[in-house]
Homo-oligomer: A and B are copies of this chain.
Amino acid sequence: MKVFQHERQLRTTGGLSVRDITEEVTEAVRESGVIDGIACVYSPHTTCCVRVNEFESGFLEDFTELLRRLVPIQTYYALYDGEKRTENICPEDMDFGNGHSHCMAMLLGTAGESIPVRDGELCLGTWQRVMFLELDRERDRRWIVQVVGT
C-alpha cells in the first residue's frame, strides 16, 4: 500500500476566483506511483474549497452571480461585529470583513473532493476539472493532495 502527499502553494486573485489545478493534481497522482486508489484533494482554508466541475468562464461567471445573490456581501455579519466578537480575531479580516466568504464556503460543502484513481489516472469525466475556489480576497493559499492505494 502507498500513501503519497503533495502540497502546492498559490497566490489567488480576489473576488470569487477559480484556479484550474487539474494538471498539478494529475502530476502528483503519477508521482505517487498509485495505480488504483483514491485521491483526496483538500483546502486547509476556511474560505476556500476544492471542487470538481467544468472550468468554463461563462459557467464560472454564472456561478459567481448565483453565489453573490444567495450570500450578499453587503449585509450585516455577526462575525464582523467588533462589538460582539471576542474569538479567533485576525486583524486583517476585521478590516476587510469576510463573513460572506465563510458562509459561501459552508454552503458550497466540504473543504475537498475525493476522486477515484484507476490505471494511475484520476477518474475525471470528459468535462470535469479539479478547481481551487477562492471565496475571499487575494491571498496566499495552499492545497494538499493525499493519494492512497496500491
- Copies of this protein in the assembly total 3
Q: How far is the CB of A95 from chain B (nearest CB, A)?
A: 16
A37-61 near B? 1/0 per residue, CB < 8 Å: 1101011111000011110111101
Q: How far is the CB of A121 from chain B (nearest CB, A)?
A: 12
Q: Which residues of B contact A70 (CB under 8 A)?
A: 66, 70, 107
Q: Does A108 touch B at the CB level, under 8 Å? A: yes
Residues of A that sit less than 8 Å from B by CB:
1, 3, 5, 36-38, 40, 42-46, 51-54, 56-59, 61-63, 66, 70-71, 77-81, 84-85, 87-88, 90, 99, 102-103, 105-118, 123-125, 127-128, 144, 146, 148-150
